[in-house]
A and B are shown apart, each in its own frame.
Chain A
């Protein structure tokens, strides 16, 4: 009995959702660094879809916006500690 596996609490695993679809955001502004900060890690890399839950359609738009922001030096191409 002591060796029995603990039951996994399925209810604690929250289902992911796309925040753009849920909130009806249709355009991602590349000029807004505070918003784009949610989609990059502390090295300045774009976070994958499996972590943020963003849908494919909006992940492409997020990636495009982050890349544009990098070009005009609003976000860094590489960083050590951003957050």
Chain B
């Protein structure tokens, strides 16, 4: 049993509902072959670092899943290739450190921590300044 993670970029021409449907479609491909979907993230419309198919933005999506059947990755990737709305995809195996990292990431430990710490610090500084 190993965990995998796949990131794929959908065409920005799609509407948000169509993008959601596409994600559901790929989720079904996984669940049909008895893979356990652990996490699904939609990062929304993001600007890309370089244009792909003459488009500068794309819908980023992430699916994390666990399976014993490695053939499922081939079926998933052929689905990606067949679907014209998928502009890029990347599937990676997760080692034990990556699994631990993703578990923490799911709880939102990284982004929230950064934001809250920075905001609290600035507010305390301001208060100190006001008192002085």
Contacts and interface: CB of A to CB of B under 8 A. Distances in A.
A29 interface: yes
Interface residues of A, number: 15
Contact of B49 (A31, A68, A75): A75
- The SS class assigned to the B binding surface is strand
Contacts, number: 37
B13 interface: no
A71 B9 CA distance: 11
B9 A73 contact: yes
Most interface-central of A26, A68, A70 (chain B CB within 10 A) = A26
A79 B50 CA distance: 9
Interface of A: 26-27, 29-31, 68, 70-77, 79
Interface residues of B, number: 18
B50 A77 contact: yes
A26 to B, nearest CB: 4
A72 B46 CA distance: 11
B88 A27 contact: no
A77 B58 CA distance: 17
Interface stretch (B16-24, B68-76, B92-100): B92-100
